[in-house]
Amino acid sequence: MNDSAPIPASFRTSGTNLTRAKTHNHRVVLEVIRTRGPIGRTEISEITSLSRQTVQNIVGELQSRGVVEMKAQEARGRGHPGMTVQLKPDHAFSLGFHVDRLSVTATACDLHGRIVWQSGGSLDAATPAAANDRIIALAEDFRVAEPDLAPRLLGAGLAAPGPFDPAGKTGTSADATAFSEFGSPANLGRLQETLRLPVVLQNDASAAALGEHVYGLGRRYTSFAFIQFGMGLGAGLVLNGALYAGASRNAGEIGHVMVDPDGPSCSCGNHGCLERYLSLNALCEKLGLEPTAHASVGRIEALFEAGDPAVLGWIDTVAPLTRQMVSIVDRMLDPEAIILGGIIRPDFLQAILDRAAPLPRRLDGAPQSGRIHIGTSGASAVALGATAVAVDALFAPSVSHLLL
Ligand SMILES: [Zn+2]
């Protein structure tokens, strides 16, 4: 896994004082606290193989710097409840920007994923320049609205629809759901300079996966796939405790897996891609709605709630493809869990899963039930996940694999 590529070099020398982790041991302990806290010091010692005294010293130092705090353990059965350690939530904040071709949603979170500020705005044009302008304006809004929190910003995470241009060049993708040139290194560099913050980009599915990994359901798992059901269809992959972004940050583009070689052409240049059938874009086409994230999703949700036969019929027709999708993810990755999320209400996603039952059995013969979940963050998963992109990058993902 190449874990240095997605992080701008300047990230490591940013002005934040959150992780002045002096030693390798400090970073490892901090990573355990971040990913598994609240956690007891004895358990940290067991996981890291560091002596209890060393862990105690490091935790004490992190505490004195205000990075972590002690918390009384919830009493379980008999015996004295001990103390656990967790990140101090208001020690730092991250800004996340969910960027699509129409709008930008900005979210600021503390280290526990509690949203402290949210705003958004539409784009004047579907161009990277317009997205940049909006992001810069929203960041300024945050600094004005929350002057006490702004100095504690540790970075900005960006989530934008993939696929990204593999070479980081500009504007080669004609994908209706793509925003490839936005993710070019030159553009990210400009943004980083103007925002005066480390900037990290992931595709929207990877960002949502990180959101679950850092704040949500994914905290329970070391390896899981997050499937983002949006205008396109993508997956974010957390493998062995770290996001797997892929060589060109396009891992998990399951929407562009070919399921019918004779199927309709896809904007990626191939034919019969999964998302030509299984995505909100495909449903919009079926219903004669404009494939725009804002107006049409609300319309689909209203139709779904009213039991509209066209929407329910579509859910039935995609059931075989849903089974195929689960089968592909399961066979390729053997994850502990598959989490389904997206920009539409959770009961719609649940209906897709329910109508696809029974899902293909696992290779060990066990049923999939209990292993597939609906994401915890709902439609805000990507925006929240964008903040997690910054948090995850800051906390030195290179140490994640040491825990396993
Ligand atoms: Zn395609």
For ligand 1, the distance from its centroid to the CA atom of residue 173, given in whole angstroms, is 11
**67: confidence class by pLDDT, cuts 50, 70, 90:** confident
Question: Is 70 exceeded by the pLDDT of residue 54?
Answer: yes
pLDDT exceeding 70 applies to what percent of the chain?
84
Q: Which of 5-19, 125-139, 218-232 has the lowest mean pLDDT?
A: 5-19
Distance 166 CA to ligand 1 centre (A): 15
| pLDDT tens digits along 329-345 | 999 999 999 999 988 89
Q: Per-residue pLDDT for 372 more than 80?
A: yes
Counting beta carbons within 10 angstroms of the beta carbon of residue 291, is it exposed (0 to 12), middle (13 to 18) or buried (19 or more)?
middle
pLDDT range class, residue 397, cuts 50, 70, 90? very low
Query: How do residues 245-303 score in pLDDT, each as one tens digit?
Result: 888 778 999 999 999 999 999 988 999 999 999 999 999 999 999 876 568 889 999 99
Task: Tell me the CA–centroid distance for residue 371 and ligand 1, in Å.
Answer: 28
d(CA 227, CA 235): 4
Q: What's the gap in Å between 165 CA and the centre of ligand 1?
A: 14
Distance, in Å, from the CA atom of 178 to the CA atom of 333, rounded to the nearest integer, reads: 25
Q: Are 156 and 139 in contact (CB under 8 A)?
A: yes
- Sketch out the chain's domains with CATH numbers: 19-90 (1.10.10.10), 92-209+383-393 (3.30.420.40), 218-379 (3.30.420.40)
Q: Are strands 103-110 and 93-99 parallel, antiparallel or unpaired?
A: antiparallel
The pLDDT assigned to 400 comes to 38
Q: What is the whole-number distance in angstroms between the Cα of residue 272 and the centre of ligand 1?
A: 7
Cis amide prior to 261 (ω within 30 degrees) = no
Name, in order, each residue with C-beta under 8 angstroms of 113's C-beta and a sequence gap of 6 or more. 211, 214, 215, 216, 384, 387, 388
pLDDT value of position 316: 97
Average pLDDT over residues 178-198: 83
Give the pLDDT of residue 222: 87
| pLDDT recorded at residue 289 | 92
- % of the chain surpassing 90 pLDDT: 46
More confident site: 298 or 368: 298
Q: What is the pLDDT of residue 79?
A: 55
- Cβ neighbours of residue 371 closer than 8 Å, sequence gap 6 or more: 336, 337, 338, 362
pLDDT at 178 over 80: no
In order of 37, 255, 258, the CA distances from 272 in angstroms are: 44, 10, 5
What are the pLDDT digits (tens) for 135-172? 999 999 999 999 999 999 989 999 988 776 645 443 33
C-alpha 253 – ligand 1 centre gap (Å) = 9
For residues 377 and 385, the answer to whether their CB atoms sit within 8 Å is yes
**Residue 11 or residue 230, greater confidence:** 230
pLDDT of residue 78: 58
Give me ligand 1 centre to Cα 289, in Å: 21
CA distance 104 to 138: 9
